[in-house]
Every structure is written in structure tokens, then in C-alpha cells.
Amino acid sequence: MSAKDAILGHVCVERGWMSEPVLEDCLKECATLSRSRPAPESETFLPRVLLRRHLIPEMELEALREEIAKVLRRDAASAPDGTQDLRLLKLLLRSARVSKEHVDQAMAEQRELLGKGKSARVIELLLEKGQLTLTALEEAFQGLRRAATSVTCGSCRAVYSIFDYDPGRIYLCKACTGELAPAGAPAPASAPVAAPTPASSASSAVLPSVGEEGARIGRFRSLKEIGRGGMGRVYKAWDDVHQRWVALKVISDRQPLEGLTRFRREVEISKSLHHPNIVAVYEVSSAEGKHLISMQYVDGVTLEAERWPPGKAATLVVTIAHALQYAHSHGVIHRDIKPQNLMVDRAGKPYLMDFGMAKSLDNPSCVTAVGIAMGTPSFMSPEQALGRTSRVDRRSDVYSLGAVLYALVTGRPPFRGSSPIDTIQKVSSEEAIPPSQVVSGVPAALEAVILRCLLKERNDRYQTAKQLAEELERILPQMSP
């Protein structure tokens, strides 16, 4: 079994694609394959095993392998003499992301391999054994780049200082949402931005149409509209280049400032997330004066206006909570969890989508334009409803997910007023009616979980999405499916 197979397998477990027992079984099959025929020591078998067992889509597998290779290549290239690894290990030990015992064992193994004429990095040995996660390694690497980097807006020439600058990310000016670039680097091309227009003037400039059903835009054809929102239309489309169906979000170049800010935020954040229950963003392009986001196509329905049996509703929310925990662990707060942003495919698999309102904790000042309302009133946390954006954190998403669970079991949101302002007032000042008083058949244990999510004070709620998932998993056996 190759080290690459072991590393890939443990990262798949880390990202939620499989469990440890399934990985162990897959690696046994890899070992059997490697013994059945002569093969180079570096040859990998796990990718074909994963695909054959349908454990991970091919596109996601390739993205995961590329991410692993990129992280390890970047770490090695930064200091070929090994000093970079030593700095990383010190940081990992200091933050308790790896144990001293495991590091000592890996170093002893490294010395043993060197004695046999084989090279090995301690970092890779730890990843291979599952004693270090790829996420922890990425965070440690970022921690080594804390020096401020001066960046300039390509549109308004405003200057910012960014800590832990990552050249692979998109940074936006909070004054005009133009793209930021380090001093001396070529200025990024800026799309033309129109002045904001009143909401009442929404037209094809804001929700661009690409023509009749079956039309083409760029390399995408057989377009069929499947949804629309405040910033564009979404089509089911055939990608001629990659030969696959995609969900194609189309945004006009004449989109108001708020729409372009959301577009750029969604692109930046979504492309950094790879999880089986988060809709994947494949590519960003433009054609015929419109911005395009090519995304994973999910053949299913949203959870909007859908009432579910308590057991099934809780099961769906458990899965979404784990996906949300993954996003939170990568420094991303969704800020717009609602039934319309949750989908279930024909096999019953749920997905979290639309990160257009999301906030990156790594660099919040460069992704949010002033004055943009965040969230949907009926599912907003009180801190969002009151505009206290500095207080919006992971627990705000937990509140919103609790509000979704309330809606799934009762058929209505916890707060609903005669107008958005009336709804916001209810969210911020009134207590939610217990679900059992809205509909019958809601288990007391489930009601207690929902009401704890909806508490006004953040510190009184579940503190993480993982805590919410674990509590639901604990009570699920008490509920009928």
C-alpha cells in the first residue's frame, strides 16, 4: 500500500466521504491488488477502489487529490532543507493539533527510512497514519505567513494591509468590491460595475435571461431555468467541454454593487469547500456580458414549503449540521441557512448551497460591502436581525439551522410577521411558540433541541453545529423514521 493511498484515505475520512471502518476495508482491498501483480511502490490503488465502490464522485476525488498535492508541494517548496517542516511541527505541537508522542514516533521512523536510503517527511508520515489532518496542516502553514501584505484595489486604488495573505484567494475592496492585488503585481481586471439601482427596478439587467428554453450561452447549451433569486437565474445546462450536466448561475455585468459583491463572495468561499453535502462550485467564467458560475447539478428539490416527519427531519438536519461544521472549521459562516438553500436529491441525500451571504473569518473586512442586509428574516438569528454583524458567528448559523428544523416539523417558520420589519421585530423580541403547540406528534426531546437552538442569547444555544448534530443523533433512536 502506498503512502499516497493512506494519506488520501485519511483525508476522505476527515472530509466526511467515508468512515474509518470503510477506509480500513478499502485499504485491505488495495493491499490485495498490490500483491496480485508487480507494481512500482509509488503506484496508487485507492482512487480506483473509491470510484468502483461509488464512495466519492470522480470530480470531487480529483479535486481532493489536487488539494493534497498542492499543500504538500507548497510546504516542501517553501524550504527544501526541511526547516519549514520543523516550523510547522512546532506550531502544530503548540496548538495541540498533533501529539508529541506521534511526532517522536514519526521522527524515529524517518531516521530508520533514511538509514535504508529512503527519504520521508515527518509531516507526510503523520498524515499517512491519520495522526495529522490536512486541515490542521493548512492552518499551520497559514500561521507561518502572518506578516502583513500590502494590497491595492485595481478599481479605486484604495490600499489595505492583509495578514496571512493567500495568493490563491480573491480579496475584495470593501469600498467598491474591486479585486485587491499586492503592490507591484499586475492589477486584476475589473468587471464594469453599475451604480446600485432601486429594488423596484429589477429587470433583465438584474435577473438576466439567456433566451428561450434550450438556448446556449458560451459553451453551455440546452439551458432550462430551474430557479431564480435576488442576484440571478439558475439553469440546468449541458457543459460541452466537460460533458456533464451542471447548475449554471447567470449574473449580468450590470448587476448592482450588492449583487456583484455576493457573486464574488460566493465564488471565493465556495471554491474553497469540498464536502459531500455542500454543492460544489466547478468553474467561473463569463460570456455575452454575463458572469457564469458552473456548479454541481443536484437532481432534487429544496426543502421550502415541505413538512417532514420528525425523525426524517432530524436525520436531514444531522447531515446538514455536519456539513455546516465542516464549513465552520474552514472559517466560513454561511449566514443564510434557510429551506430554500437546502436541497434533497432523488436518493434522499441533502445538500447545503448558496454561500453568497457567507462571511470568511480569515478576512472579514474584505468580503462584505457596507449596508448589505444579511440573512432571511424568518430564519435570522436575533443578532442578525438587529444588524449586530460583529456578533454574527457559528452560533448564528446554529440558530438558523434550528429555525429550519422548526419549519420542517411544523410546516411554518418560528417567526412570521406581516412584513419583513414586523418579522425582524418578532425574531428579536418574542419567544418561539413550541412546535408541539403548532402541530401534534413532535417528540418532547426534539422540541427541546429546537427551542435551545432558538434561544436569544448565543451562549445559551449549542455552541457548534457538531454539538447540535451529536444531540440529534443521541435522540434519533427515540423517534420513528
Q: Are strands 300-302 and 342-345 parallel, antiparallel or unpaired?
A: antiparallel
Name the E strands within 377-472.
Answer: none
The grid coordinates of residue 275 equal 464536502
d(CA 454, CA 469): 15
Cβ-count burial 403-442 (b if 16+ within 10 Å, e if not): bbbbbbbbebbbbeeeeeeebbbbbbeeebebbbeeeeeb
Burial class (CB in 10 A: 0-12, 13-18, 19+), 214: exposed
Burial class (CB in 10 A: 0-12, 13-18, 19+), 294: buried
DSSP string for residues in 98-124: S-HHHHHHHHHHHHHHHHTT----HHH
Q: Please say if 81 is a catalytic residue.
A: no
Phi/psi region, residue 387 (left: phi>0; alpha: psi -120 to 50; beta: rest), is: left
The three cell numbers locating residue 470:
451529536
Asked if 442 and 305 count as a contact pair (C-beta separation under 8 A), the reply is no
Residues 339, 304: contact at Cβ < 8 Å? yes
DSSP string, 210-279: --STT--BTTEEEEEEEEE-SS-EEEEEEETTTTEEEEEEEEETT--HHHHHHHHHHHHHHTT---TTBP
The span from the CA of 347 to the CA of 301, in Å, is 11
Q: Quickly tell me which residue has 459553451 as its cell.
A: 219
> Of 336, 354, 362, 397, which one is the catalytic site residue?
336
**Catalytic residue positions?**
336
